[in-house]
Amino acid sequence: MNKRLLSVSLLIVSCIIIFSQCISKRKEDLRGAQFAGSAACVSCHKSIYDNYVATGHYNTSSLASQSTVRGSFAGPDNIFSYSNGTKVIMEARDSGLYQAAYTDSALQQIHRFDIAIGSGRKAQTFLSWRDGKYFQLPLSYFISAHCWANSPGFPPSYPKYDRMIPSTCFGCHSSAVGTKSVGIEGTRLSEEFEKNQLVYGIDCERCHGPAAEHVAFHQDHPQEKNGMHITKIGGLKNQQKLDMCALCHSGLGTPQRPAFQFKPGDALSDYFFPDFTRPEKATEIDVHGKQFQLFTASKCFIKSANVMNCSSCHSPHNNERDQLTAFSRRCMSCHKTESHNFCKMTSLPAATLSENCIDCHMPALPSKNITMLTNGQASPTPDSIRTHLITIYKEETKKFLAKLTK
């Protein structure tokens, strides 16, 4: 063999070796090799991915930064005064964002914003990393009130810094968290986490299950048009479809297994202990996060013989917030104008009715669980959430009609 050819082939061989090492060194997903990560889905599911990045799911947790934290760091809106005289100021420094506590202008404590929880539809709360643990910061940002105020459940009298955040919180607001150890501290669970080991947001594989095999198969078989090595949600039973969402949308139950292990097709009852405190009347369930209980207590669900699920109205990859006319059209796929089960509010013109079924039948109601106190006083705008108990609300109808005539 001539020398030149030999050296060229050696070069090619070594390139292949180096290149294949690059590929095998691709950073493995925190959850293990059976997970591919959302970025791996873009090449084949681009339009789904592009829509999905605008959803609350994708943005529900993030590294805290000027671009992810919604509240103001400029005066005068960056100050919160506790009733004991302590002032906490939101400060943007070169080294990061901080909540700094002062009494009589003397700095007492300073805590960094490390992680933001909540996409900022209604509120955002923040976690600070300390000694291997995450602590919730005493002040959260409330979107509709446009203000910083004491985090839900925190006192308005003084800033409190010892609320440890458990992994269950990440189980509904992220896709993975690295835990180091679990212990007991006094009467409470004390979990230590691995620093910077988090998969932010609720990603594709939280809902679809591990997909590395699916990705590898389709990369090798670009001609295959049928999705392989992935759970077909269309083939699941209706209860299984509901359970995939109920995992996080049935409130704070007592977990039996970490929510992170859930895969589509699993049963909710394997993840939570049964909740015996469920009230007799659905109207007594707090609207916050209990969409599963409320929706399944509605006549639409009960009387339509187990065909309805969350996807009857929600398209899981899109942000369709405030598109009430689009949602109303989905109501009218069953409640047709001409049929006997259309709305009985015949005093309203049909066109007005059909634009917005939602404000009368799924009104936004204040949550009993969130009692926000602004500077020591009950907030003038308690957060409200769309109830998923679809029924007749006489009071809300009156309010809606009053707004129309204005």
Segment 120-179, which members bind ligand HEC (CB under 6 A)? 120-125, 136, 165, 168-169, 171-173
- 101 contributes a contact to ligand HEC by CB under 6 A: no
Q: Is 258 in the site for ligand HEC (CB under 6 A)?
A: no
Residue 344 in the binding site for ligand HEC (CB under 6 A): yes
Could you tell me which stretch among 73-81, 91-99, 246-254, 369-377 binds ligand HEC (CB under 6 A)?
Answer: 246-254
**Measured distance CA(35)–CA(27) in Å, rounded:** 11
Cβ-contact 226, 258 below 8 angstroms: no
Determine the distance from the C-alpha atom of residue 62 to the mean position of all C-alpha atoms in its chain, rounded to a whole number: 11
CB of 3 to ligand HEC, least distance (A): 42
User: What does the alpha-carbon distance between residue 311 and residue 333 come to, in Å, rounded to a whole number?
Assistant: 14
Instruction: Kindly state the smallest distance separating residue 243's Cβ from ligand HEC, in Å.
Output: 9
Q: At 131, which amino acid appears? A: D
Name the amino acid, one letter, at 359. Answer: D
Among 257, 321, 368, 399, binds ligand HEC (CB under 6 A): 321
The encoded tokens of residue 30 equal: 């925190």
Q: Does 230 bind ligand HEC (CB under 6 A)?
A: yes
Sequence-ordered list of residues with C-beta below 8 angstroms from that of 336, at least 6 positions apart, any chain: 342
Peptide bond into 76 cis (omega under 30): yes
CB 387, CB 357: distance < 8 Å: no
Q: Smallest gap, in angstroms, from Cβ of residue 346 to ligand HEC? A: 9
- Which residue lies nearer to ligand HEC by CB, 70 or 87? 70
Identity of residue 325: T
Binding residues with ligand HEC: total (CB under 6 A):
106
Region 35-54 residues binding ligand HEC, contact defined as CB under 6 A: 36, 38, 40-41, 43-45, 48-49, 52
Counting contacts by CB under 6 A, is residue 288 touching ligand HEC? Answer: yes
Phi, psi angle pair for 286, to nearest 5°: -65, 140
Q: Write down the least CB distance from residue 381 to ligand HEC, Å.
A: 14
Tell which positions 374-393 bind ligand HEC, by CB under 6 A: 385-386, 388, 390-392
Tell me the closest approach of the beta carbon of residue 378 to ligand HEC, in angstroms. Answer: 19
Nearest to 169 by CA among 134, 220, 211: 134
